[in-house]
Amino acid sequence: MLVLNILLLILGFILLIKGADFFVDGSSSVAKLLKVPSVVIGLTIVAMGTSAPEAAVSITAGIAGSNEIAISNVVGSNIFNMLVVVGTCALIKPFVLDKTILKRDFPINAIANVILLILMLLGSVLSRFDGIVMLVLMLSYIGFLVVTAIKNREESDEEFKTLSPLLSVVYIVGGLAAVIFGGDLVVDNATVIAKAAGWSETFIGLTIIAIGTSLPELVTSIVASKKGESGLALGNVVGSNIFNILFILGLSSTILPITVDTRAIANTILLLVMTVLMFIMCVIRKKLGRVEGALMCAMYVAYTAYLLYVG
């Protein structure tokens, strides 16, 4: 029976990843048909699309009452993004850090972490009001990015598929359905596996689910690195991490308040510490090489070993 749960978990991850791909292609096609600039598509639709798996899992978990998975999935994904995604890209090809990301987006990422921690400490739940606050902040950030992008009018080099209007709708609806169904499969079967193995929902959310839902960011960044565009990795990760905190947890808690326990607070503090340390390293070094990449990946291995030890 447990083998079936593992197979269904894998199927859920496949549906999440491929569903997100179809959703991005369909949405991008509609945006292009409506003459929306490519750079705006990249800052909004694509960024949200790569975080669709995390959104599906956390929202589904929140509705199902699996609060530990709802929060730990976001925290775990953000840690994986910072250490493994960026670290792997640095290992493949060292890159110089973008000044705009360091001055604007990285500090905003740290502030989003602080806001989440403060909201957790103020009460035993992330309430609907807390969720609305986070959603407003996310919309403000997106609005700022879009206005800045349109003002600068720098078109992205990335190509987006242009499909027929009907096929675009099919891609959007089909992709969204796959993401939602995949999210259900992941949450349900991950919970069963965790209980059977004696693991907590927090552990499996911080590791297995977090890694699975972060695969789109990892694959995208590795492909970019092989093309000599490793510098995109940090921007993708920082943007995704901001989206994960403000939008995913914001929407999840707006739909249904999320109970916060001491373990969730502790993991959020750990995420904040890692974010600040990485920011300091980036500011000092100005670039990420293979040594830094290896160190970041080793840190994630140590972090996973620690989680396994504490259960």
Q: Looking at the 3D structure of the chain, how many domains does it have?
A: 1
CA distance 249 to 132: 10
Task: Indicate which CATH number applies to the domain containing 96.
Answer: 1.20.1420.30
Record the tokens describing residue 48, joined without a space: 């949200």
Handedness of CA 248, 170, 14, 142 (dihedral sign): negative
pTM of the prediction? 0.80
Three-state secondary structure string covering 123-188 = CCEECHHHHHHHHHHHHHHHHHHHHHHHHHCCCCCCCCCCCCHHHHHHHHHHHHHHHHHHHHHHHH
Q: Which neighbouring-strand residues pair with 96?
A: 287
154 band by pLDDT with thresholds 50, 70 and 90 = low
pLDDT at residue 73 is higher than 90: no
The whole domain housing 207 covers: 2-310
Give pLDDT, residue 311. Answer: 62
Asked if 204 contacts 194 with a C-beta cutoff of 8 angstroms, the reply is yes
Asked if 184 contacts 192 with a C-beta cutoff of 8 angstroms, the reply is no
Helix (H, G, I), strand (E, B) or coil at 200: coil
pLDDT digits (tens, 9 = 90+) for 90-146: 888 887 877 878 888 889 999 999 999 999 999 888 999 999 999 999 999 988 887
Measured in whole angstroms, the distance separating CA 69 from the mean position of its chain's CA atoms is 14
| Exposure string for 219-233, b = 16+ CB within 10 A, e = fewer | ebbbebbeeebbbbb
By percentage, how much of the chain surpasses pLDDT 90? 21
pLDDT digits (tens, 9 = 90+) for 197-252: 787 778 888 888 888 878 777 776 776 677 666 666 677 788 889 999 999 999 88
